[in-house]
């Protein structure tokens, strides 16, 4: 049963990867969209594509979720009621140990993965609470369940997303607003290229000799979570590719 048709969703970080595929699959279900990201031209391409293919309304907003003032301006400019907020924008930068890492990388991850998610949640949730309806879906990671060497701040940010998700649900206890998280393992998107500053060879090595998840896999689960009956709140889903059993256990073919 499609319970999503006619609703409106914000998807952050929608210009590529999981965000783009989530927007596409939501549009396929008849969900109107507000898609955000930093690449204005790409957002306009996606808008035309989804409106043409699925007949939904798509609004775009090009800004950086790290910018609190930009988040305020974005929410103030909204002319539609938001039923679903998919906090997808996020990234990893570097794999250096704590004693040798770059401060700018740390700030980028914390400001995007934690503060950006918090900014939009803080600004969107009051309307949901007032209407006693809505759904927050945060993009977590298996890194939010297990830390690993070389990921001190990235794993910390995803542990934070887990804590934020759980605390937000408790803050909204007694309302009908739902709060969920989706926690992927290895997904082949632009993620690793960003982590390695555009080094495609290093990025490819992350997935070498194994079959990783793809953005479609995670987008399907996000849509499944959003499409549950109103009395069902899925708090978290942990998704590994079959070849992965933990952050450091990945079976690779020779």
Give residue-wise pLDDT tens across range 131-154: 999 999 999 999 999 999 999 999
Torsion angle (degrees, nearest 10) of CA 10, 12, 14, 20: -70
Average the pLDDT over 180-201 and give the result.
90
Instruction: Determine whether 208 is exposed, middle or buried from the number of CB atoms within 10 Å of its CB (0-12, 13-18, 19+).
Output: exposed
Handedness of CA 172, 173, 177, 180 (dihedral sign): positive
| Band of pLDDT at residue 196, cut at 50, 70 and 90 | confident
Summarize the confidence of residues 72-77 as an average pLDDT: 98
Quick check: 231 pLDDT over 80? yes
In the chain, what percentage of residues exceed pLDDT 70?
A: 100
pLDDT in the model for residue 119? 98
Confidence of residue 197 (pLDDT cuts 50, 70, 90): confident
When pLDDT is averaged across residues 84-93 and rounded to a whole number, the result is 97
Residue 216 has phi, psi (to 5 degrees) of -60, -40
Q: Give the pLDDT band of residue 254 (cuts 50, 70, 90).
A: low
Superfamily, domain 8-239? NAD(P)-binding Rossmann-like Domain (3.40.50.720)
* pLDDT score for 194: 85
Residue among 157, 217, 208 at smallest CA distance from 187: 217
Query: Catalytic amino acids?
Result: 154
Question: How confident is the model over 47-72, as a mean pLDDT?
Answer: 98
Helix 117-131 × helix 152-171 angle, to 10° = 10
Confidence of residue 178 (pLDDT cuts 50, 70, 90): very high
Query: In this model, does residue 107 exceed pLDDT 80?
Result: yes
* Mean pLDDT to the nearest integer, 150-162: 97
Q: How far apart are CA 71 and CA 77, in angstroms?
A: 10
The pLDDT value recorded for residue 37 is 97
CA-CA-CA-CA torsion sign (203, 204, 205, 207):
positive
Contact 247, 146 (CB under 8 A): yes
Q: Domain spans of the chain?
A: 8-239
* Contacts of residue 25, Cβ cutoff 8 Å, sequence gap at least 6: 216, 219, 220, 222, 223
* Whether the predicted pLDDT of 170 surpasses 80: yes
Mean pLDDT of 42-55: 98
pLDDT at 198: 84
> Residue 187 has what pLDDT?
96
């Amino acid at each position: 049963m499609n319970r999503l048709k006619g609703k409106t969703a914000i998807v952050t970080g929608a210009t590529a990867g999981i965000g783009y595929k989530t927007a596409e699959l939501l549009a396929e279900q008849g969900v109107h969209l507000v898609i955000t990201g930093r690449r204005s031209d790409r957002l306009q391409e996606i808008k035309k594509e989804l409106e043409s293919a699925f007949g939904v309304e798509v609004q775009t907003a090009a800004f950086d979720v790290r910018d609190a003032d930009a988040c305020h301006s974005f929410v103030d400019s909204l002319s539609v009621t938001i039923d679903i907020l998919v906090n997808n924008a996020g990234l990893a930068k570097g794999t250096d140990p704590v004693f040798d890492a770059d401060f700018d990388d740390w700030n980028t991850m914390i400001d995007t993965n934690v503060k950006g998610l918090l900014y939009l949640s803080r600004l969107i949730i009051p309307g949901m609470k007032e209407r006693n309806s809505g759904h927050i879906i945060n993009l977590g990671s298996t890194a939010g369940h297990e830390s690993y060497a070389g990921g001190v701040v990235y794993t910390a940010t995803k542990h934070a997303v887990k804590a934020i998700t759980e605390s937000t649900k408790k803050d909204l206890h007694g309302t009908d607003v739902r709060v969920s998280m989706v926690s992927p393992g290895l997904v082949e998107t632009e993620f690793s290229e960003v982590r390695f500053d555009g080094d495609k060879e290093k990025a490819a090595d992350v997935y070498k000799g194994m079959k990783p998840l793809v953005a479609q896999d995670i987008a399907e689960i996000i849509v499944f979570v959003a499409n549950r009956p109103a009395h069902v709140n899925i708090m978290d889903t942990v998704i590994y590719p079959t070849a992965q059993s933990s952050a450091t256990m990945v079976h690779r073919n020779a």
